[in-house]
Structure 1
Amino acid sequence: MTEPVPIGVNRVVDVAIVGAGLCGLALARALTARGLAVQVVEARERLGGRVFSRQCEATGLALDLGPSWFWPETEPRVTALLSELGLASQAQHDPGDALWLTDPNREPERRIEPGGVHAGARCVTGGAARLIDALAARLPPGCIRTGVAVQALRDRGECIELVTHAGPPVRARQLVLALPPRLVHEKIQFDPPLPAAVWQALATTPTWMSAQAKALTTFSQAFWRADGHSGNAFVRHGQAVLGEVFDASAQAGEGGALGGFVALNAAQRETFKRGLPLLISSQLAQLYGPLAQDGQAALQDWATEPWTCSDTDRTSAPGLPQDKPLLRQPLWAGRVFLGGSETAAHGAGHMEGALEAADRLAHALCRPNAGVHSAPVAQDDKHLTRISAIGMFSANVLALRGMAPERYRLQLTRLLSSQQSDLLTQRALLAVADQVYSESLARLDHLLPALDAADSPVVNGRHALTAVLLAAFEGWNKDLLEAALKHNATSCALSNFPLEHPPDGETLRAITLDLAAAWREFALELNARLAVTSGGAAMDCAA
């Protein structure tokens, strides 16, 4: 394995990765395992990006001040990575009633939420930052440099120069910007400039949760559970300090914690900064009684983090993750790539999206036209023939198609439980489609050696096996949409959403176009992965 090159040495690394969050570290691990020289540069003095855990000094509890949850049924990459790294997870505590406070002068209402508020979510035992620590520990010494802010990128022909705030430029053959798109737009200059459409897409892609604040309060025990409370609460009045509250405790008997998302915007939080801990304590007491005033508080205001929250995010209304295929296209003749969770096709904004983006980038960087070469994909079933491998891929697709209606229901439940109401059908359908495509590509990777794709021709960029493998998806979009509409017609949860029950013609047309675009991108990626093994160039358009 090539040793990583320290910054300042006049050498060129294979790949430079800007950003040591979950995406950047997972990608670095994949690339260094293939023998590539990788340099990760991080503007902060710590690793993890938005994944940030802090230990409570009073109770010893690990507090996730960034992302906490993942959903095994719809986010398999996080589940698989935890297993691979030997890390445990635990179910998010949901049993008990949820409190609803709609009037600051009245007692909260107790409600039972069928299926739980968090729809099967799990948390990393010991805090999500354990994922970051485990990934970083598996990288070569010197692979990561912290406290290094990249200010500009220059295309020097034989390499790309990363101009930093101090010291000589970092030089690399390939570059990944594993950052929120808006930070790329606001923090980094490009020479030559990026295409106008890409530049606009960077500027208009919201950074998930970047202008939000999260508060956690720890206690010696989870006393609310004894009173039949789940720890979930929704505060829906104009004086709300915490808009949503949840149980953030560790395993039973290890102390208790209540977490919450601050309802005040960034400007309001600055105004009430000194009094915010007291306001949070008072609201918890209103929900759960006097014992809730005796905790130890921790607050993370992400709007004050310049390497998470852009100026645009700070002053704009919160935005949902947006699927923009333009941000997944290679730049500068295939030598610059955009990463980070917001660029993912599946799980955008979540930890799952960061891992999905890392997997996509690992494949893109190791294609023949990328200038570096990958090791063969490990083959678990060496006895497989091409015919049996095609059969296994097709069977996997049929199984995924069979699970799609239930996954659609789960996606709807998650959207509704998070109090979201816009474009429910459209967003849930795209989430299901993107998950199926993501898992199908992962299955393809395992079967590539048995498929012996190098022994098949690539004509006009199209690999001979592409049509054979895609045949298992015939009628997929139509069947998926029909299953979703059938569920909507009988869903009590959607009865209060007339635009979803059923969607109107304009919405159906938008859904159809979105599903077609997702299919086209998947078909291109599948063909590209097959074409790599033949040394051919991928096709420019899907069938």
Structure 2
Amino acid sequence: MAEVHVLRPPTVWDVVVVGAGLCGLALAHRLVARGQRVLLLEARGRIGGRVLTQTCESTGQPLDLGPSWFWPETEPHMVALLASLGLESTPQHDPGDALWLTDPNRSPERRMEAGGVHAGARRIGGGSATLTEALFKALPAGSVITGSALIGLRDHGASVELLRTGGPSLRARRVVLALPPRLVQERVAFDPPLHTAVDQALKDTPTWMAAQAKAVVSFAAPFWREAGHSGNAFVRHPQAVLGEVFDQSCTGDAAGGALGGFVALDASQREHFRVGLPLLIESQLAQLYGIEAQSGQLALQDWALERWTCSEADRAEPPAWPQADPLLRRGHWDGRLWFGGTETATHGAGHMEGALASADRIAHAWLAPASMPSEQGDQATAIAGFTAGVQRLRALAGGRYRQQLVRLLSAQQHEQLTQRALLAAVDQTYSEALALLDAFAPWSGPGHTAQGRHALTPALLKAFDGWNKALLDDALAHNGTSCALSSFPQDHQPDAELLRAITRDLAAAWREFALELNARLVSAPVAQEAA
């Protein structure tokens, strides 16, 4: 029998991570691998956060009631982590027609969606919780406490005290709040108080999917495929119960079929119709796919009822895409306090990718490179290698912009298309450029800095000269000839005001990347509190 390593609680932990969702688990996994003594504190009685997979009682198939998909072409952190853990993934089922129901009194229209609806998405074998379970199992026994909620933090200078429910306070040299920012703002007391700008940034950052509900109905087999349906459906009328439907069946030789969907009713409407909601869902699926759709078993997850996911602010406001203030990506209390979670990411915010990108950001701020690759040669060779790598990334960016557009349109998200697709493309490029920087690391060290700026920062940033303008010009040229955007005049032919807003967004993303690149060049970056 393999020896089980049980963690002995220290008086002061190296790190306490609050929130055992994907970000918290991934960060703990990485820190433990580098010898850090890490404790995960979780308010729920389970790990995973918004990653939630149930097992169908009748078919045994996994049903994802939280995130289901990742996109390999644009989400490198997910690809790398799954590979490192030896986890398999399968493509989202898209072949066949998509159904459009725009009138509750008529039959749905069948449309063929070129390339499928989900634009190359994949699902984790066994359900998304397979990933969080694998990370959890790799941690030392005793390093996760569930059923205990953080209620306050006190900065003692050399350490931070964590006040919590269900047990005595804890001490740590560093604390990471891997929680939705709005929950932090509403539920956690800080002593001393956070700077007002940081408090406002927490309050202003929406929680992705917080007030939404997801339904998955399982069947003995995916019967809709026999009729040539993909399982994708869009319901666009005022009485819609499920606004979007998709195939969430088992893959391979596993038995069972499933249809998933996002509930179109808002949180207050769901509460009003709670008793009759299962019947309403069954009725709509039957209208789409026939009487066989009435024989399923419903699993329903209303995230608005999850007090450790949905804040009061999220319940009161319409759903919004999270764009966290850069203040939430910096260290506070002289580097002893950090904010994590998918909402704080620049790339993949709201997705599982964003959770991993957030964990990666914090780990890089604390950990020196695992090894100094002196064999890679002198700095001139490293600069040349980095520059060549950036040129490759620049060449890919236009295609990535177009991929992001397809994803937004496929998901029926029609607001700020150009801005969101461009920011997603540049954020992915910057994320991969930072990973490229880490591959060439002979330049680290405070001796190379002057007034906080590393001597090689200008040479490395030069590889991006003119990139923002070139990418924007390429995007506008594509928009002007895109049939898919012809129905969206603001994006098809952006006006001067929109162009100024896009330019400002790209400039802000560039500034944050430049600061992060400079920080990674310096061996011990100094985290600064908001001024």
TM range (shorter): over 0.9
Aligned residue number for residue 251 of structure 2: 251
Aligned residue number for residue 453 of structure 2: 462
Aligned residue number for residue 95 of structure 1: 95
- Sequence identity of aligned pairs in percent? 63
Within the candidate set 392, 395, 398, 1:399 is matched to 392
Number of residue pairs matched by the alignment: 525
Q: How far apart, CA to CA, are the structure 1 residues paired with 2:95 and 2:231?
A: 9
- Residue 383 of structure 1, CA deviation: 4.6
The alpha-carbon distance between structure 1 residues 165 and 503, as it changes in their structure 2 partners (threshold 3 A), is same
The alpha-carbon distance between structure 1 residues 464 and 110, as it changes in their structure 2 partners (threshold 3 A), is same
The alpha-carbon distance between structure 1 residues 190 and 12, as it changes in their structure 2 partners (threshold 3 A), is same
The alpha-carbon distance between structure 1 residues 375 and 195, as it changes in their structure 2 partners (threshold 3 A), is closer
**2:408 paired with 1:415:** yes
Q: How far apart, CA to CA, are the structure 2 residues paired with 1:268 and 1:429?
A: 35
Q: How far apart, CA to CA, are the structure 2 residues paired with 1:432 and 1:94?
A: 24
For residues 313-328 of structure 1, the aligned pairs below 5 Å read: 313-328=314-329
- Residue 205 of structure 1, CA deviation: 1.1
Aligned residue number for residue 191 of structure 1: 191
Letter in 2 for 1:297: L
- Residue 60 of structure 1, CA deviation: 1.1
**2:331 paired with 1:330:** yes
- Note if contact 1:155-1:161 (Cα within 8 Å) is conserved in structure 2: yes
Runs of 4+, deviation exceeding 6 Å: none
Aligned residue number for residue 369 of structure 1: none
| Stretches of structure 1 lacking an aligned partner (at least 5 in a row) | 367-373
Within the candidate set 513, 516, 525, 1:525 is matched to 516
For residues 83-232 of structure 1, the aligned pairs below 5 Å read: 83-232=83-232
Q: How far apart, CA to CA, are the structure 2 residues paired with 1:414 and 1:380?
A: 38
- What per-residue deviation string (whole Å, max 9, x for no partner) do you get for residues 57-81 of structure 1? 1111111100001111111110111
SS at match of 2:320: coil
Q: How far apart, CA to CA, are the structure 2 residues paired with 1:526 and 1:5?
A: 37
- Note if contact 1:527-1:538 (Cα within 8 Å) is conserved in structure 2: no
Q: How far apart, CA to CA, are the structure 2 residues paired with 1:539 and 1:264?
A: 43
RMSD: 1.9
Q: How far apart, CA to CA, are the structure 1 residues paired with 2:455 and 2:165?
A: 49
- Note if contact 1:224-1:288 (Cα within 8 Å) is conserved in structure 2: yes
- Note if contact 1:322-1:348 (Cα within 8 Å) is conserved in structure 2: yes
Aligned residue number for residue 431 of structure 2: 438
Q: How far apart, CA to CA, are the structure 1 residues paired with 2:455 and 2:77?
A: 29
| Stretches of structure 2 lacking an aligned partner (at least 5 in a row) | none
Larger CA deviation: 218-227 vs 312-321:
312-321
Letter in 1 for 2:491: E
- Residue 386 of structure 1, CA deviation: 3.1
Q: How far apart, CA to CA, are the structure 2 residues paired with 1:386 and 1:324?
A: 34
Q: How far apart, CA to CA, are the structure 2 residues paired with 1:100 and 1:483?
A: 32
Letter in 1 for 2:388: A
- What per-residue deviation string (whole Å, max 9, x for no partner) do you get for residues 166-205 of structure 1? 3221101111100000100111111111111111111121
Scaled by the length of structure 1, the TM-score of the pair is: 0.94
**2:274 paired with 1:281:** no
Aligned residue number for residue 371 of structure 1: none
**2:444 paired with 1:453:** yes
SS at match of 2:522: helix
- Residue 337 of structure 1, CA deviation: 0.7
Letter in 2 for 1:336: L
Letter in 2 for 1:355: L
For residues 306-385 of structure 1, the aligned pairs below 5 Å read: 306-364=307-365, 366=366, 374-378=367-371, 382-385=375-378
Q: How far apart, CA to CA, are the structure 2 residues paired with 1:475 and 1:82?
A: 35
Letter in 2 for 1:479: A
Q: How far apart, CA to CA, are the structure 1 residues paired with 2:322 and 2:448?
A: 39
- Residue 34 of structure 1, CA deviation: 1.3
Q: How far apart, CA to CA, are the structure 1 residues paired with 2:349 and 2:330?
A: 16
- Residue 538 of structure 1, CA deviation: 8.4
The alpha-carbon distance between structure 1 residues 538 and 236, as it changes in their structure 2 partners (threshold 3 A), is closer
